[in-house]
Structure 1
């Protein structure tokens, strides 16, 4: 205890200081004299074993009171010391500070109402660190506890989850769907949110290596170039939409191909990803059919877990006609639209990469043993078109 650090009160955060000082005084077995004071000396009576014992206890209390007063005088800054300099007992010094900085019952009620309002209005900013925000929540909760209103872990967890910005929507959905929030600890939740925030930061810094743009907007066709017989008998035409998407009118089964030349990935671009296990998009208006009841957590490329908002079909227009991408997940907050190479191949299509182009075509022409198209396959005839 000799090396115990005494906090210094300088008019800031009296509630925190008083809690710390109460604990320190209790560990030194001095709090009782600060809280109750020292009993008045008894009247002069004949000395008996009982009176002798009472006198001994009072002398011990007076010694402890002096020691507690010394600690309190040491625990305040010089300009605060003037408030308690005249106090002759530790109780007088403590009560003087409490009355001035904590106030009367009416003042404490006003402070409690102010803290309640601050707690209810507290929201996390988009660019704010999760640790900074949760520290604010915990500090406010501690102040509310000091003023007589204690928040349970369940209440604090609910407050945090409804106060997070949109970038945390996916992890909040996962927690609400898969976790028992009534048994979740605050420290556990904060750890999960910190990990999610770290993954988001890493994702922003990462590059989309090995992914190819796939533009599927309908537009005017570009200039046609001469066929090159060395290039698998496919025409080498400029995209009718943007110059990057190249399609072959001689092969109706070809869905689309994508050039790696594009330097900017727009929101309506689909990335052909060999690492994705499912087709995914964040755009609800792309769907020609959507089942909202299909919701479950999935892992995306950066390692984080998100909750799907539905599953359905998307109809796109290619130069060869309408094509329907089936079994696509709707994932709010997804950075880019993804086409899964494994899902494409498993449905009877083939994916080839030739001279910085990604070509997706019907495998039944080149691979007679491949799976035939059915109503459950990812690509089929669409009922209506969405221009991309």
Structure 2
């Protein structure tokens, strides 16, 4: 009895007699390329990849590979598959269905990569305005399955800013750790610096206007004295 219970436990754990554990990565509408690579390694590690690419595959191996594939497909995509067909035939169905979608996604990713590389903060842009443009592209890339590490995103953002922010970039490079700082923290630092620059520019403008007004007043006074002296 104990032996039978143990066999049942093993069977339940692996989803079938001598079957492979359920794959940890599920197919989605945007990750076919990554999913297919994962499944190839996964099936091969359980000696089942030959059911997809091999000839004269045994029925037993096919019946083990097919549940593994099906278990890695979400319910809304299962309608594409046919349990009566072989693992190889179902694999081909998924490949054909996702090939066109994958090409569109990869094309979009390439376009967004170029857009990200070309993004530059204009002199008329505020930090917040540019950050919205930048993070929108980054978010869209990530939603399509593109892996973007935060440290790389931070460095790309800093490269896109004008020279007036160089002091912040140098400070982060010398005293901070660009591998640990988040994009939100960088945007916050640049926004504070931008506000300080605007306050300084405002003060300088006020001082310039005051100096100009004082100069004009002085000239007017001198001209008045000159005219008064002429009458005497």
TM-score normalised to the size of structure 2?
Answer: 0.47
Q: Which structure has more helix as a fraction of its residues? A: 2
**Larger RCO: 1 or 2 (CA < 8 Å, sep 6+):** 2
